[in-house]
Amino acid sequence: MCVTSTNHWLRGATTQPNPLVLPPVPALARSHGATAPQASVPVPDTADRLPRRRTEQTTHVWWLGTHGGAGESTLTGLAAETQAAHHAWPVPPSQAAPHRVVLVARTNYAGLLSAQRAATEWASGSLDEGVELLGLVLVADAPGRLPKPLRDYAQLLAGGVPRLWQLPWIDSWRLGPALAGVAAPKAFLGLFADLSLTAHSTAE
């Protein structure tokens, strides 16, 4: 079956991804999808939208965790000139330059669903010109390869955001903070390079 240009990821939030349509995503794939909101995408119900927080604070990139424990604080600690958005769209004052935002979610079903809802909200154009979405970071929620239904769901999401990055499980971070005197893993450094970010020094 061929994959068309139709935005299949824009189906209802409770719709299950079809594992027969889309191929799996390689573990560290970076892909390109929709680059701007689309007039055909309806605004999600209020319950499916993230809060909005008006802020004059500027930073090179805002990490927006679409759910609790997504990893936005960890990424903020690893990359200079970035801020955690605290699970709310950072909206600039009127006439100000848009805030550059990267969505962050875990790769379990609940995390992917929250990422889909946030991407749908952006695609609807309801954020006006206040947000420039750069893409979505998916952080592994467990060691090992993702089950096929979750890989398919991640691939489906890739078509609805400008870019998708997938970051691996780091077992040592279960026992201590990310900044524990060791360099950020290669996949994280690749993400930062793509976004023109500088990794914080992690030397003790």
Q: Is residue 80 part of a domain?
A: yes
Whole-number pLDDT of residue 142: 95
Tell me if 6 is assigned to some domain: no
Calpha distance 194→204 (Å, rounded): 26
Residue 23 within a domain: no
According to the model, what pLDDT value does residue 24 have?
37
pLDDT along the chain (204 residues), means of 10: 41 40 40 86 94 95 97 93 97 91 98 98 93 97 95 95 95 68 79 92 44
Is 22 a member of any domain?
no
**Given this model, what pLDDT does residue 179 score?**
54
Question: What's the confidence (pLDDT) of residue 201?
Answer: 59
Range of the domain at 150: 28-194
Closest CA to 103 of 115, 90, 117: 115
pLDDT value, residue 174: 76
User: What are the C-alpha distances in Å from 189 to residues 146, 154, 184?
Assistant: 22, 21, 7
Flag whether 8 is in a domain. Answer: no
Supply the pTM of this predicted model: 0.83
Residue 55: its pLDDT value, please? Answer: 95
Q: What is the pLDDT at residue 143?
A: 94
pLDDT at site 30: 60
Q: Tell whether 7 is covered by a domain.
A: no
Number of folded domains in the chain?
1
Quick check: is 55 in a domain?
Answer: yes
The residues, ordered by sequence, that sit 6+ positions from 79 with a Cβ below 8 Å of its Cβ are 61, 192, 195, 197, 198, 199, 200
pLDDT at residue 163, as a whole number? 97
